[in-house]
Amino acid sequence: MKTSVHNSFEGLLHSFENYPDRIAVTDKTGIDYTYSEFYGHIAWCRESLIERGVKKGTRVLLAIPMTMELYAMMEALFSLGAVIIFLDPWLKGSQMAAIIKDVKPQLLVCTPKIKWAAYLMPAAWTIKKWFAVKELGSSEQKWAVTQVSDEDTALITFTGGNTGTPKGADRSFGFLAAQLKVLKPHLQSNETPHVDYSNFPIVGLADFAVGNHLVIPKIDLRKLENTDSGEVWNTIVRHKVTRTITSPSLLLKIKEGMDAAGGNGMVKEIITGGAPIPFRLINGFVSDFPELKMEAIYGSTETEPIAITDFKSMYKTMETPLKGVFAGKSVSEIQLKIMEPSTKAVNADEFESKILPYNIPGEIVVTGAHVNKGYYNNEQAFSENKIVASDGQIWHRTGDVGYQNAEGIYLVGRLNRIIHHHGTSFHPYPIELYLERNLGITDAAYVQHANGEIVLHLGKSETVNDDEIFNWIKQADYPLNSIKRHKVDLPRDARHKSKLDLNSLLKL
């Protein structure tokens, strides 16, 4: 079995040795920490964790908001070969309790505030050791990285899920190393280091591995819709940010800040992903700031990235919105196929027979070194989301519906949102993009209800009259039975505030 220093640490240790006085991270408090100072904080975390019995394979529930403390603790845990367990803060209390009972963490590392909240959750009492981190210390003790194999679990991430217990994506050290290898060309610079503003933890880890400077957003990610765009932009200007790597919803706030300031400051590049990107955002950047380098990453918790493209290519394809949302060509490190849509588990023989040719929409399935191979203690999730091919390769079912042509990948919807009408399948993304492109409608959902009725749901801000909408949809040759207007914004996922929450919508 191959053992090695995790690739993230090869880069991180290089940064410590070669750029000790360079700023590694700016916390949301505005305090800068050099790579030398960051090293000292990681050393202190390591000593504190070792005192509490942490070693290779120890399961540690890490419940710290996105701060410098989070990154120092993550790097310390990785360096010890521990297994980090992440619970999405948007999960319900009952879901968190079920996960804790299943995973059985051996240590809880949290803030004092979260410690008091944990007292109210009886399931947390089953965790024998707690470590409430109020403020990090620093140590001059030199440390070495524990040797790990590519197959050793590094991180188990429980995200999403509206009902039941969310599946925990089991990400090995080999997976994280492969992911870094794919992202590295897009994150490193041959000249001066980037100053990155990002709300993605994995970006921070990659930044440290290439010697960049990470600026942590001073925002509450759980209440992103209430975030002041002026405050976001002031943080970016104050810390001379050269690149933003954020979700589309946070990028909207950044664009509002740019518009109010009448310029892009020192920002030269933007990267976004994690959710569908609104046409107005792409149009706004291409029209107002064409000099910027603008990229969109398509991927998921189980595999990131799947494909990468630029805004100008996306904008060009949006001139014909009924083609769907352009995601670019798949990265070379991944294999991608389009499979006939199915809500059932698929075995090896069925898999080969279900592969579709170019230009035919189906479920996107992928395999590769940075595609996770399973879920923690969840055979049902594996059966539903993975396919073991005849050659032993494990393919991941993304749940996304799309097709390939010579240009690349086009996304047209989700597996649970396919509309069936008179023997023909229709998909929501093309018609929703079409309505945004032609009528400026940005809060819409094209949905087929259980009774077969096809309904266009509109959020409270939409004012285009029904007759005009019906006329445009008729021109697109899409079926529609009715339009339903709501007195609230359409429900979106808690994490990115972008993906439609179909279950909640159907309850309105």
Buried-exposed string 462-493: b where 16+ CB fall within 10 A, e elsewhere: bebeeeebeebbeeeebbbeebeebeeebbbb
d(CA 297, CA 327): 8
In angstroms, the CA 432 to CA 447 distance is: 10
Q: Are residues 454 and 347 in the same domain?
A: no
Residue 7 has a pLDDT of 59
271-321 per-position pLDDT tens digit: 999 888 888 999 999 999 999 999 999 998 899 999 999 999 999 988 899
**Do 352 and 432 fall into the same domain?**
no
Pick the closest to residue 63 from 135, 128, 118 (CA basis). 118
* Percentage of residues of the chain with pLDDT beyond 70: 97
Please give the backbone phi and psi of residue 26, each rounded to the nearest 5 degrees, phi first: -110, 120
Considering 364, 381, 413, which residue would you say is the last residue of a domain?
413
Residue 89, pLDDT score: 81
Question: What whole-number distance in Å separates Cα of residue 39 and Cα of residue 52?
Answer: 20
Judgement on whether residues 75 and 150 belong to the same structural domain of the protein: yes
| 121, 50: one domain | yes
Count H helices, E strands: the chain? 16, 27
Whole-number percent of the chain with pLDDT over 90 = 81
Of the residues 388, 413, 438, the one at which a domain ends:
413
Calculate mean pLDDT across residues 368-387: 94
Residue 134, classed as helix, strand or coil, is coil
DSSP secondary structure string, 306-352?
SEEEEHHHHHHHTTSGGG-EEEEEEPTTEEEEEE---SS---HHHHH
Same-domain status, 293 and 442: no
Alpha-carbon distance of 473 to 431, in angstroms, equals 8
What single letter denotes the amino acid at residue 465?
A: N
Q: Are 179 and 370 in contact (CB under 8 A)?
A: yes
Distance of CA 102 to the CA centre of its chain: 24
Look up the CATH number of the domain holding residue 371: 3.40.50.12780
User: Within a domain: residue 224?
Assistant: yes
Q: Is residue 103 part of a domain?
A: yes
What does DSSP assign to residue 506? T
Q: Are residues 298 and 185 in the same domain?
A: yes
- Cα angle: 396, vertex 402, 403; to 5 degrees: 105
Q: Do 230 and 330 belong to one domain?
A: yes
Last residue of a domain, one of 370, 395, 413: 413
Q: In 3D, which of 446, 502, 452, 506 has the Cα closest to residue 470?
A: 446
Residues 242 and 294 occupy one common structural domain: yes
Contacts of 500 (CB under 8 A, 6+ apart): 417, 445, 490, 491, 492, 493
Evaluate if residue 2 carries a pLDDT over 50.
no
- 241-263 pLDDT, tens digit per residue, is 999 999 998 999 999 999 999 99
Distance CA 202, CA 330 (A): 20
> What six digits make up the tokens of 345?
């588990």
The verdict on residue 8 lying in a domain is: no
| Residue 251 shares a structural domain with residue 324 | yes
| 181, containing H or E segment | helix 173-187
Rounded to 5, what percent of the chain is helix, strand, coil? Answer: 35, 25, 40
At 477, list the tokens: 């040759």
**Per the domain annotation, does 213 fall within a domain?**
yes
Give φ, ψ of 10 to 5 degrees. Answer: -60, -45
Provide the 8-state DSSP code for 224. G
Kindly state the average pLDDT of the residues 474-482.
Answer: 97
Nearest Cα neighbor of 465 from 485, 479, 443 is 485
Across residues 467-473, what is the average pLDDT? 98
Strands (E) across 175-289 are located at 195-198, 213-215, 243-246, 269-273
Residue 491 belongs to a domain: yes
Which DSSP state fits 30?
A: S
Total domain count for the chain? 3
Asked if the structure places residue 336 within a domain, the reply is yes
Q: Could you give the CA distance from residue 241 to residue 195 in angstroms, rounded to a whole number?
A: 5
Name which of 174, 172, 164 is nearest 380 in CA terms.
164
**Tens-place pLDDT, residues 396-415:** 999 999 999 999 999 999 99
Q: What is the pLDDT of residues 194-246, one digit of tens each?
A: 999 999 988 999 999 999 999 999 988 777 777 899 999 999 999 999 999 99
What CA–CA distance (Å, rounded) separates 393 from 225?
41
- The whole-chain average pLDDT of the chain stands at 92
Q: Does residue 164 lie in a domain region?
A: no
Domain containing 89 equals: 20-159
Q: What is the pLDDT of residue 175?
A: 92
85 & 233 share domain: no
pLDDT of residue 282: 94
> Is the dihedral angle over the CA atoms 76, 39, 29, 226 positive or is it negative?
negative
Structural domain contains residue 10:
no
The rounded distance, in Å, linking the Cα atoms of 431 and 455 is: 12
Terminus-to-terminus CA distance in the chain, angstroms?
Answer: 53
pTM tops 0.85, yes or no:
yes
Over residues 48-67, the mean pLDDT reads 96
Q: Does 117 share its domain with 195?
A: no
Q: Does 123 share its domain with 215?
A: no
- Residue 445 maps to which CATH number? 3.30.300.30
The identity of residue 66, as a single letter, is: M
Query: What was the pLDDT predicted at 508?
Result: 87
Q: Give the model's pLDDT for residue 3.
A: 39
